[in-house]
Amino acid sequence: MNGTCIEATDKINEAIAHKVGQQRYKIWFKNSTRLMIEDNYVKVGIPNLFIGGWIENHFAEHIHAAIQEVTGKSMKVIFTIDPALFGGQRRRQLDSQAEFLTKSPTARRRQDFNPNRRTNLRYRLDNFVVGGANQLAYSAAKTVVMEPRTHFNPLFIHGGCGLGKTHLLQGICRAVHENRPETRYLYVSGEEFTNQFILALKMGKLDLFRSKYRQTDLLVIDDIHFLASKKATQEEFLHTFNAIDMASKQVVMASDAPPKMIGQLSDSLVNRFLSGMVVKIDTPEMETRCAILRQRAAEIDRKIPEPVIEYIAENIRANIRELEGALLKVVAYCSLSRCEVNLVLAKEALEDHIARTDPIVHLSDIEAAVTTFFGITPADVHSSKKTRTISLARSIAMYLARKHTTMSFPEIGRFMGNKNHATVILACRKVKTFLDNPDKPVMWETSLGRREMCIQTLLDKLESSINR
C-alpha cells in the first residue's frame, strides 16, 4: 500500500464520518472497519458478519458517496471479514452497537448477510482436529459419511457452546455430498425448521413442507434444543423423523444439552433420540487445543512459536471459538507492532482478552448458583422457555453476569445458550425494574409450591453463594 492510498482512505473515512455523523461513525466504523483501495474497487474490512450486515444495509450509500467524493470515481464496494479487526472493539462500543440493533425493528433480517452466499456450509470434516474429547462424535460422523445406512438413527451430538457441533454437522453434509453426490441432504437449524413449519402452517402449505423434509436421504438439524417447549413443532418433527426412519434414511442432530436435559421435550421425542446414538463432545484437552491452534496458524499461513501456542491453549480452555479468536488477536496485534509473533507480545495482546474470558469460569459459577437455587438446570437457562421460574432465573443469571464480569451484552448472550444481545439487555432491565420496586416481592414456583422473596435478599443470597 502506498502513501497516497493511506491518505485517500483517511479522506474517505472523514467523508463517511461527515455523512453519517460523528456519533454513528464512532459506533459503527471506528475500530470496526478498515478500508483498502484496490485497483477498481474498495474493500471494507469488517470484524464479523453481523456488524458487516448492519453497515452494508445502513451505510452502503454513504460509503459509495464518500468514495466518489474523494476519488472522483464511482467504485465498487466489497465487504470482507478482516481478522485484524477481531476483538478491537471496546466493551462500550459493543454495547452501543447492541443497543442500536435492539432498537431496530428490522435488525433480525440483517443477520443473514453472508459474503459467501454460494454455500451455507462453511466447515469440512478433514480439518476437524480429533482428540479424546470429541473422538466418539467424530467416529460417528465418519460412519454416517461412509455408510448410507448406519445401524443407529438418529445420531445425536451434544456438548457446550463452541465445541465443534456445527463443524461436525456441516462437515458430514459436505463429505456426503462429495462422496455420494446423488444423496439428497438437508441442513437446517432447529430455528429454521420451526419457522418453516409455522409459515407452512399459516400459508396452508404443509404438504410442500412435508414432502421437502420427508423425501430426503439425510436430514441434519443443528441446535435442536430450539424445539424445547414448542409442542406443535415437536410433534411435526416426530412425524418427520418417523417417516425418514421408516425409509431407512439418516437423521443427525446437535444440541447444547443431552436429550433428557432439554426442557419440555415430549417423552416420545426423548425416547426417539435415546434409541439412536447419543454422543457427547467434551471440552478439549490441552493437546487438542494446541493442535487446533497449530492448524489454524497453518491455515492463515503464520508461523507461531510453540510457547505462544501453549500460552494461548493454557489460558483459554472452555471454548474453541474463543481459542481461535485469541490466536487471531495475537496475530493482528503483532502485525500492528510490525513484529514476529512472540510470547511477550502475545501476553500483551491477550491481557484484556484473558481478563474478559476468564470469567467463563465465573459465569458457570453464577449459573450453578442460580440454577441450584431455583431447582432448574443450566439447559433450562439456555433454552427459550418462558415459564415464570425459568425466565426469572435466566434474567437474574444474566444480570449477575453483567454485574460481576466485564463481559459485554453480546458475549453474555453467546455464553448463555447463544442468546441475542437484546435478550440480555431486556433481562438486565427487568431485574433493575424489580430493584426499583423493592416493596413488591418476586415470585416463582417450586415443587413445594409458590415462593416469594424481596429481590435484594434474593440477589444477596446468590451473590454470597457465588463468592464463597
Q: Kindly list the residues in this chain that would bind Mg ion in the complex (CB under 5 A).
A: 165-166
Distance, CA of 56 to CA of 64 (rounded, Å) = 11
Grid coordinates of 73? 470515481
Q: Nearest approach, Cβ of 16 to Mg ion (angstroms)?
A: 34
Asked whether position 164 contacts ligand ADP by CB under 6 A, the answer is: yes
| Minimum separation from the CB atom of position 131 to ligand ADP (A) | 7
Residue 395, judged by CB atoms within 10 A of its CB (0-12, 13-18, 19+), counts as buried
Nearest approach in angstroms of CB 224 to Mg ion is: 11
Chain position carrying cell 445425536: 156
* Beta carbon nearer to Mg ion, 166 or 216: 166
Compute CA 198 distance to the chain's CA centroid, rounded to the nearest angstrom. Answer: 24
Q: What span, in angstroms and rounded, lies between the C-alpha atoms of 252 and 279? A: 11
Verify binding: residue 161, ligand ADP, rule CB under 6 A. Answer: yes
Instruction: Tell me whether residue 134 or residue 240 sits nearer to ligand ADP (CB atom).
Output: 134
Contact (Cβ atoms closer than 8 angstroms) between residue 59 and residue 16 = yes
Q: What grid cell was written down for 168? A: 461436525
Residues comprising the chain, all counted: 468
Map the footprint of ligand ADP across residues 338-357, applying CB under 6 A.
none
Minimum distance from residue 277 beta carbon to ligand ADP (Å): 18
Give the nearer residue to ligand ADP in terms of CB position, either 134 or 233.
Answer: 134
Binding mask 366-405 for ligand ADP (x = CB under 6 A): ----------------------------------------
Burial of 305 (0-12, 13-18, 19+ CB in 10 A): middle
**Which residues on neighbouring strands pair with residue 163, listed in sequence order?**
none
- Binding at 423: pick from ligand ADP, Mg ion, none (beta carbon under 5-8 Å per type): none
Alpha-carbon torsion, ordered 21, 329, 398, 434, to 10 deg: -30
- For ligand ADP, the binding residues in 244-273 under the rule CB under 6 A are none
Q: What is the DSSP letter of 128?
A: P
Interactions with ligand ADP, residue window 290-309 (CB under 6 A): 292
Which regions of 194-303 does DSSP assign to beta strands (E)?
A: 218-222, 250-255, 277-281
What cell does 367 get?
449459573
Q: How far is the CB of 226 from ligand ADP (least distance, A)?
A: 13
User: Among residues 124, 180, 212, 321, which is the contact residue for ligand ADP, using CB under 6 A?
Assistant: 321
The three-state secondary structure class of 207 is helix
Q: Which of 320, 341, 350, 381 binds ligand ADP (CB under 6 A)?
A: 320
List 46's β-bridge partners, or say none: 81
- The site partner of 128 among Mg ion, ligand ADP, none (C-beta below 5 to 8 Å per kind) is ligand ADP
Burial class (CB in 10 A: 0-12, 13-18, 19+), 416: buried
- Report if residue 324 touches ligand ADP, rule: CB under 6 A: yes
Residues 365, 387: contact at Cβ < 8 Å?
no
> What three-state secondary structure class fits 186?
strand
Minimum Å distance from CB 122 to Mg ion? 11
Nearest in space to 98 (alpha carbons), one of 402, 405, 459, 432: 402
**Complex with ligand ADP: residue 123 or 152, whichever CB lies closer:** 123
Question: Which residue intervals of 247-317 are DSSP H helices?
Answer: 267-274, 286-299, 306-315
What does the alpha-carbon distance between residue 316 and residue 87 come to, in Å, rounded to a whole number?
Answer: 15
Interacting span for ligand ADP (CB under 6 A) from 139-147, 160-168, 297-305, 425-433 = 160-168
CB of 222: closest distance to Mg ion in angstroms? 6
The smaller minimum CB distance to ligand ADP, of residues 134 and 150, is found at 134
Phi, psi dihedrals of residue 250, rounded to the nearest 5°: -105, 140
Q: Which does 321 bind (CB under 5 to 8 A by kind): ligand ADP, Mg ion, none?
A: ligand ADP
| Total residues at interface with ligand ADP (CB under 6 A) | 15
Interface pick for ligand ADP out of 165, 249, 356, 394 (rule CB under 6 A): 165
Residue 193 interaction partner, one of Mg ion, ligand ADP, none, beta carbon < 5-8 Å per kind: none
Q: How far is the CB of 191 from Mg ion (least distance, A)?
A: 11
Stretch that binds ligand ADP, among 22-30, 209-217, 318-326, 455-463 (CB under 6 A): 318-326
Taking residue 43's Cβ as centre, other Cβ atoms within 10 Å add up to 16
Q: Is 45 in the site for ligand ADP (CB under 6 A)?
A: no
Q: Which of the listed partners (Mg ion, ligand ADP, none) does 163 bind, with a CB threshold of 5 to 8 Å by partner kind?
A: ligand ADP
Residues 99-158 that bind ligand ADP (CB under 6 A): 123, 128-129, 134
Q: Are 434 and 440 in contact (CB under 8 A)?
A: yes
> What residues line the site for ligand ADP (CB under 6 A)?
123, 128-129, 134, 161-167, 292, 320-321, 324
